[in-house]
Amino acid sequence: MQEAISRGEIEQLVRSIVQQSLQIAVEEFVRRNDQRAKELSLIERVIRVEEELKALREVETARFEAMEKRFEALQREMNARFEAMEKRFEALQREMNARFEAMEKRFEAMDKRFEALQREMNARFEATDKRFESLQREMNARFESLEKRLGFTQWLIGIGFTAVMAMIGILRYLK
């Protein structure tokens, strides 16, 4: 008993087998390529993150260099100001010395009065010297304090920028 299978039935049977096989093959192909696309997307994201970190490092370096130049300019400006002040004090000292010498010449004839004036002038000079010494110590202390504050500020800014950059990097990585 052989049944005759019609050509239409064969075509339909072949079509259903081919369709099932083709559907399975296409699904497998899509699944593999989808995974590859995800891998390529992750690689591309990692590359973008690395490039961004490199750019951020360059920006941070440029900012630190600009800050360093600014601090150096401030230091030069302060040095120039204090040198000018020192020259002014020296000129004042020379002027005072010249005036006191003129006074000495005027009062040479009067010994007693001169001795009293001499003692007074010596006391003034000592007070002035003490004052200048105390001003010098005070200026030195202020400069040291300023240097410490500038150093601390520079480190604080550097640490702050580093912390902010690290947080940005972490946040971008977590997204």
The mean predicted confidence, pLDDT, of the chain is 86
Distances (CA, A) of 167 to 6, 121, 160, 162, 173: 73, 67, 10, 9, 10
Q: What is the CA radius of gyration of the chain?
A: 44
Determine if the pTM surpasses 0.75: no
Token readout for 121 is: 């002038």
72-83 pLDDT per residue, tens: 999 999 999 999
pLDDT score at 107: 67
Residue 4 φ then ψ, to 5°: -90, 125
3-36 pLDDT per residue, tens: 677 888 888 888 888 888 888 888 888 888 777 7
pLDDT score at 3: 64
Q: In sequence order, what are the residues at sequence separation of 6 or more whose Cβ sits closer than 8 angstroms to the Cβ of residue 49?
A: 169, 172, 173
Is 169 a residue whose pLDDT tops 60?
A: yes
